[in-house]
Amino acid sequence: MERAYDLVLMGGTGFTGGLTAEYLAAHLPADARWALAGRDLDRLGALRDRLGVDVPLLRADATDAGSLRDLATSTRVVITTVGPYINYGEPLVAACAEAGTDYVDLTGEPEFVDLMYLKYHERATETGARIVHACGFDSIPHDLGVYFTLQQLPAGQPTRISGYVWADATFSGGTYHSVISAFSRRRETAEAHRRRRRAEPELTGRRVRSGGGRPHRNTGLGTWAVPLPTIDPDVIRRSATALEAYGPDFSYSHHMSVKHLPTVAALAAGAGGLMTAVKIPPVRAWLLGRGIKPGEGPSEEKRARSWFSVHFSGEAGGQKVITKVSGGDPGYGETAKMLAESGMSLAFDDLPKTAGQVTTAEAMGDALLARLQQAGLSFTVLGRSE
């Protein structure tokens, strides 16, 4: 079916959405057919004027299923920055799965991703829609970082990779609210995860494992490694399950790098206290009111000083490799870049045939890796040994 647009951005009037719109305006092919969508056409019009582009404005409201159906049937790809996704994301996923429309977001919310798999993976597979979650800092540097590291190791061998995340940045208001929401829904998140694991096809003839690893001293980096309980290991596990190139026996462990040991204890205590506090509704409301609001973000100067790096240590077939993925501001600038390039890859690249809920490595792999390298993200090999 011919669609009016190649790509539509939903939520461009927010902070990260605005950065994504700026990136698209600067990097889309000249003949690309694209549009901006949201519930407030006046604000969208102001964004269009600021961008200096002549693109259509589409009214679409996350609470209006009819407007989302119209949106999904008008375009080949939808990019959305409207979160927290557990509150606002499902109707658009449903519309895209039904219409056979490719979908990308920047969620890092495991409960949302698992529920969308349970509800819409089968229908998306039938219609050919590619539903690709976690196309920002969660989880592209980690998913494609492992994918890149794997390419440096012997194929067809049992493979072990560990990731170590280090960053200096302010994360977005949307991320802050999503984290508070996820901490307050730990029971629901665990139940959604169990349901998904039961529903996923059983892997035969291969073994895939991933998780947070264990605390240890990383002598190579000169830091302490602390298990990092994010969505990233789950995304990597799904890529490894889908792609035989990850080998017959694949394992991944995920860590945060911390310079000083007392910081480890402080982080553990703080996280434990926060997980307990957010279960109390008045405390949760206070935390949400005190933190940075969705749609807000730091100054351009602060973003310019921000950075991230993820080191990977890989072993397979008696060989070892150290790689690094690095870039600038992870919470805003690089996330907008990764999200926009993911949408453009789905719209314009020659990709493997996939459908349903898929990961960035599974759906876009080499094409997205090349795009991000050309866009300024660094994927480098730091060392090899046997």
**CATH number for the domain that contains residue 119:** 3.40.50.720
pLDDT value of position 176: 61
* pLDDT at residue 283, as a whole number: 47
Shared domain for 71 and 92, answered yes or no, is: yes
Distance CA 313, CA 257 (A): 13
Task: Please tell me the pTM assigned to this model.
Answer: 0.91
Do 144 and 72 share a structural domain?
no
Per-residue confidence (pLDDT) for residue 260, from 0 to 100 = 61
Helix (H) or strand (E) holding 156: none
Same domain, 42 and 83: yes
Do both 279 and 176 map to the same domain? yes
Q: Are residues 249 and 147 in the same domain?
A: yes
Q: Can you give the CATH number for the domain in which 187 is found?
A: 3.30.360
307 and 183 within one domain: yes
Q: Are residues 321 and 361 in the same domain?
A: no
pLDDT tens digits, 13-29: 999 999 999 999 999 99
Residues of the chain below pLDDT 50 = 267, 269, 272, 274-275, 277-278, 283-284, 286-287
150 and 120 in a common domain: no
**One domain, residues 51 and 91:** yes
Residues 348 and 318 in one domain: no
Q: Are 170 and 306 in contact (CB under 8 A)?
A: yes
Same domain for 244 and 296? Answer: yes
pLDDT at 173: 61
Q: What domain range is 205 assigned to?
A: 140-329+377-385
- How many domains, the chain? 2
The answer to whether the CB of 363 falls within 8 A of the CB of 343 is no
Residue with token string 């375009």: 75
- Position 182 scores a pLDDT of 64
